[in-house]
Structure 1
């Protein structure tokens, strides 16, 4: 009734993907066991990113404004990603696309004004 041979390439692709992804996960673990990288020493446990020991609990809570600034950055970064292809092809798309983009920019500007008025961009 059903011809399952059409699914063979998909199953082969899925098998190769699972094999490669598991190799990328487990081969470094095995290599670390053989090279001795899993044995911690005082030198391996030192701080190397910031240069000084942590002075607070790593599970401490961040201020909500940090997350708000991060979300605003992502939103306006995506805005730039949407505006560039639109600007390249705006003359061939017509007035409908122009008004749609102006509505999109107006909505983002309204969100920025709201965040500004709420004090989300103020840093103490």
Structure 2
């Protein structure tokens, strides 16, 4: 009997969905029920919620630099995995292209570092 190669993937998806549904369904039953004022407020990254943004509605540059840094390294990871898998068949061309890509990522990292995106006060 020959098994379809997609059956294990389908089984894993079903198992993951069942685990997610079970976790969400059982949490209210077995979880602690200690409500207080702080838990019922909106959570804004540890900053006290305010009706008006601090500084007249402008956000500090650090927020944008952190988001940019996350996107840069997320994209780097997305490109590195397929490259690592097919490294043997790419040859010197693939190596040179990845070196150029890493250099461009390093330039973005240096920019964020110089602008103070990695310093948390």
TM-score range, shorter chain: 0.5 to 0.7
The RMSD of aligned alpha carbons is 2.2
Q: Who is 2:113 aligned against?
A: 116
Q: Return the index of the structure with the highest Cα Rg.
A: 1
TM-score by length of 1: 0.53
Greater RCO between the two (CA within 8 Å, min separation 6)?
A: 2
- Structure 1 segments of 4+ aligned residues over 2 angstroms from their partners: 47-50, 53-56, 58-61
| From 57, 63, 67, the counterpart of 1:66 | 63
- C-alpha displacement of 1:110: 2.1
Aligned residues between the structures: 76
Structure 2: gaps spanning 5 or more residues: 1-39
TM-score by length of 2: 0.54
1:54 aligns with 2:49: yes
Q: Secondary structure at the match of 1:94?
A: helix
Q: Secondary structure at the match of 1:122?
A: coil
Structure 1: gaps spanning 5 or more residues: 1-46
- C-alpha displacement of 1:116: 1.1
